[in-house]
Amino acid sequence: MVEYQQKDRYNINDLCDIVRLLRGEGGCPWDIVQTHESIRSDFIEEVYEVIEAIDNKDSVLLREELGDVLENVVFHARIEEEAGNFCFDDVCDEVCKKLIVRHPHVFGDVKADSVGEVLNNWDAIKMETKGQETYTDTLKSVAKSLPALMMAQKVGKRAAKAGMDFRTPQDAVACIAAEKAELDEAAASGDSGRIHEELGDLLFSCVNAARHLGVDAEQALKDSTEKFIKRFGITEQLTRDDGIDMKSQPIEKLDIYWDKAKQIIDSEENKND
């Protein structure tokens, strides 16, 4: 057992001390053996839980989940401090300096009266501070660990800043049909490599269309997936009510139940409206 004075209220310094004690001699066996790699997925999961709290407009849960994310930040910084690379204070120092440099309209004498001007300044400063000399450099700097739809949307957005983009949302949507035709040809050929490529192009075109239509592609797909789950659940319940095992039925019969499920959902939504 380590010695630690418990308090009625703690702050960031206490969090750093607690993490240090957890990883120190006499601390927690689990915490001691963790590495950046071993807790990488935990960090991602905590961030998604923050997003869920935001989506649910749950302030109590948001406070808790933000704490979990902050603990992960402190934990990773502690691992680096033990390796002699940097500490949590260095993390705070760097992000503060970055914020000051990227907000010259607040902390300097640069004039920026609109959101557009702020973003243009931000992009220019970011390119300079990161040593990005070309637009291609900005595309390559998009994190490859992002979910594919988010990465595609971000790459498309940065390409647009270089002038490489569709002229209208209609042009972006039309590209989907063109890519679909190429996928049809690939599917007919049976060439798995070509199918893989053309399917990827089709998905990328959908993301570009989403961007032009002001839709978050990641959220749109998530919402559609949730809608599918709900409709699937009603479909299964309808078949069970009729004493039918879904797995034993042909798709044509399941489609009838699927359509009934859609009618039920539409009816519920109309009542709510």
Which of 99, 121, 151 delimits the end of a domain? 99
Indicate the range of 73-82, 89-98, 122-131 predicted with least confidence: 122-131
Output the pTM of the full model. Answer: 0.72
Q: What would the pLDDT profile of 156-198 be if each residue is shown by its tens digit?
A: 999 998 999 999 999 999 999 999 999 999 999 999 999 999 9
- How confident is the model over 137-155, as a mean pLDDT? 92
What's residue 127's pLDDT? Answer: 83
- How confident is the model over 98-119, as a mean pLDDT? 89
Assigned domain for 5 exists: no
CATH number of the domain at 72, please.
1.10.287.1080
- Domain co-membership, 198 together with 151: yes
Question: With contact defined as beta carbons under 8 Å apart, do 92 and 98 qualify?
Answer: no
Q: What would the pLDDT profile of 201-215 be if each residue is shown by its tens digit?
A: 999 999 999 999 999
Burial 157-195 (b: 16+ CB within 10 A, else e): ebbeeeeebbeeeeebbebeeebbebbeebeeeeeeeeb
Assigned domain for 2 exists: no
- Domain co-membership, 232 together with 205: no
Assigned domain for 1 exists: no
- How confident is the model over 117-129, as a mean pLDDT? 86
Range of the domain at 126: 102-131
Band of pLDDT at residue 4, cut at 50, 70 and 90: confident
- Domain co-membership, 90 together with 120: no
Question: With contact defined as beta carbons under 8 Å apart, do 205 and 165 qualify?
Answer: no
Which of 183, 198, 217 delimits the end of a domain? 217
Residue 246 has pLDDT above 80, yes or no: yes
- Domain co-membership, 253 together with 201: no
Assigned domain for 3 exists: no
Band of pLDDT at residue 251, cut at 50, 70 and 90: very high
- Domain co-membership, 65 together with 141: no
- Three-state SS annotation for 25-83: CCCCHHHHHCCCCCCHHHHHHHHHHHHHHHHCCCHHHHHHHHHHHHHHHHHHHHHHHHC
Assigned domain for 30 exists: yes
Assigned domain for 213 exists: yes
Band of pLDDT at residue 256, cut at 50, 70 and 90: very high
What's residue 124's pLDDT? Answer: 87
Burial 90-126 (b: 16+ CB within 10 A, else e): ebeeeeeeeeeebbbeeeeeeebeeeeebeebeeebe
Residue 272 has pLDDT above 80, yes or no: no
What's residue 116's pLDDT? Answer: 87
How many domains are there within the chain? 4
% of residues, the chain, pLDDT over 70: 100
Band of pLDDT at residue 221, cut at 50, 70 and 90: very high
- Domain co-membership, 63 together with 121: no
Distances (CA, A) of 197 to 143, 155, 219: 21, 18, 24
For every residue of 128-171, DSSP letters joined together read: HHTT--SHHHHHHTS-TTS-HHHHHHHHHHHHHHTT-S-SSHHH
- Domain co-membership, 147 together with 127: no
Distance CA 81, CA 47 (A): 23
- Domain co-membership, 191 together with 122: no
One-letter amino acid at 41 equals S
- Domain co-membership, 88 together with 68: yes
- Domain co-membership, 201 together with 249: no
Residue 65 has pLDDT above 70, yes or no: yes
What's residue 96's pLDDT? Answer: 96
- How confident is the model over 45-66, as a mean pLDDT? 95
What mean pLDDT is reported for the chain?
93
Residue 253 has pLDDT above 70, yes or no: yes
One-letter amino acid at 219 equals Q
Return the higher-pLDDT residue of 228 and 268. 228
- How confident is the model over 263-270, as a mean pLDDT? 88
Assigned domain for 90 exists: yes
What's residue 269's pLDDT? Answer: 83
Which of 217, 232, 247 delimits the end of a domain? 217
Distance CA 71, CA 64 (A): 11
- Domain co-membership, 61 together with 114: no
- Domain co-membership, 230 together with 206: no
What's residue 81's pLDDT? Answer: 97
Residue 273 has pLDDT above 70, yes or no: no
